[in-house]
Amino acid sequence: MATAAAAVQVMAVKNNTSTAAASFLTWGTPGSDVLSSTTGLIFLPTLPTTVLILVASFLFFLTHYRSSDYYNYTSSKKKNKSSSSLPPGPAGWPLVGNLPEIFINRPAFRWILSAMKEMNANIACFRLGNVHVVPVTCPEIAREFLKKNDAAFATRPLTMGTEYSSRGYLSIAVAPWGDQWKKMRRVVASEIVSPARLRWLHDKRTEEADNLLRYVYNHCCNQLVDDNVVDVREVVRQYSGNVIRKLMFNKRYFGNGRQDGGPGKEEVEHVDALFTVLSLLYAFCVSDYMPCLRWLDLNGHERTMKKAIQVVNKYHDKIIEERIKEWRNGLKKEAEDLLDVLISLKDCQGNPLLTTEEIKAQTADLIYAAVDNPSNAVEWAMAEMLNEPEILEKAVEEIDRVVGRERLVQESDMPQLNYVKACAREAFRLHPIAPFNLPHVATCDTTVAGYFIPKGSHVLLSRTGLGRNPKVWDDPLKFKPERHMGSAAEVELVETELRFISFSTGRRGCMGAPLGTAMTVMLLARLIQGFTWTLPKGASAVDLSESHNDLFLAKALFAQAKPRLPAHLYTTTAK
């Protein structure tokens, strides 16, 4: 009976995807807008004409030769090689698999998760070109992938986005398994994110936490600002940008900055470019699964990525190149920031351990990793807490009890701020930064949860599927920090059992989780300690709608802030 039900569910998805693909093909039917707009091209021997003819011919082939049994046929072929079958999934077209559906139903992650919901599947398989993409929404299966079989899924796919962001796969986060990844992992583990290094960078983080309060306070004191309304999204994103720029380059501003502590135009442009790059690292780009189509840039991703990378490089490269010259000319001899650390590393012969390109790639990698996760979690936490004032009040009471109002909260207070951390942890669970974690690629044929996972498969842990799973979480769409206040002496932001993902775990996990934790908790704690937050006048509640194309708040959070501490605590000089 279960097998029959599963077959019915798969056929339902197949029918839906067939309908979607059929609607895609209507662009070439008589009377369609697209056909009318391109009639003038049909008889012209131009590149667009050639492309149109090739695409039309290809779609004709797909329409007439797609086999309803193709998916089952490929599954049976795999089954002959293994005692297990592929996870369930929608029928694929010849050659391209589910790429037409992915191309039509944007954003792709919503279509994938919707299809899984229709199939009532905790694990599924979508064929994109020749790649099996395997999303997972169940913690038990996720643990089987990243704990029991971690070694078999320790590499990354090669994509257009990661090629650009890592300067050809030179940095740790997206490099495939191999010598380059091992080299950069040793560097990052021992020199960048070690406990000793985090202590060394403590004062820089504190300086930016002080500047955060100074900026919001100055904003509130500005008579030109109506009702002390603060753009919380700008504040949290620029704080994250400030922290990582300070740790990396020992500077907050690329330009002259602002006297009130806010971002200049350079910093706004920099952070915007960082978020653009992050959005395109693994964006289901058609050419990532069919490289022969990359020259067409069908999604427009490559053009957008190039522009964003140019902005990032514009700000990073000059600083890095000048700093390398200082070290190699003997003008600089002591490390003051993480860039100095990377440049000063030596191999066993006393030569520079890292090339200039590796330094540039790893610098960008560290900045990408730090800027989005803390800011997104805190914006969502603030939005949820404004709609649930009793939660906000409870967090403020905890800070007042532990810290008081005569000094600012510090990182040393974090072990005692369990409710504040529970609020941050709940934001990570309910409102993750991305729909999926970074892909894990199977290095060999493997069986997981009774299913055959072919070599080369891309395994995606669904952050929303795990964090909002009703079989794991009671009332999963409700913001309830209390669910994390268990018997443990201290609340941790990292979830090792993969019931949700705050910072990735496993062999390819996030090595910067301690830094991310410190940034997140300090950002949230400083904001709610320093100010009384209320809804803007006329607003009855924060609109918690999620953006359609990603998981951010659909509308940036604006809230009214009123200072609640002695004035001298806000005027700390921040260089």
Give binding residues for heme as ranges: 510
Is omega for the bond preceding 107 within 30 degrees of 0, making it cis? yes
Helices assigned H by DSSP within 222-300:
232-249, 265-279, 286-289
Whether residue 71 contacts residue 92, with contact meaning beta carbons closer than 8 Å, is answered with yes
Residue closest to 283 by CA, chosen among 129, 155, 438, 433: 438
89-to-72, 85, 123, 376, 548 alpha-carbon distances in Å: 10, 11, 9, 32, 24
72 three-state secondary structure: helix
Residues in the chain: 575
Give rounded-to-5 percent helix, strand, coil for the chain. Answer: 55, 10, 35
Backbone angles phi, psi at 193, to 5 degrees: -115, 15
- The structure tokens listed for 307 are 């522009």
532 three-state secondary structure: strand
Cβ neighbors of 1 (< 8 A, separation 6 or more) are none
Whether residue 253 contacts residue 207, with contact meaning beta carbons closer than 8 Å, is answered with no
Question: Which amino acids are annotated as binding site, given as ranges?
Answer: 510
HEC secondary structure over 286-328: HHHHCHHHHHHCCCCHHHHHHHHHHHHHHHHHHHHHHHHHHHH
d(Cα 51, Cα 296) in Å, to the nearest integer?
Answer: 9
CA–centroid distance for 504 within its chain: 11
CA–centroid distance for 297 within its chain: 22
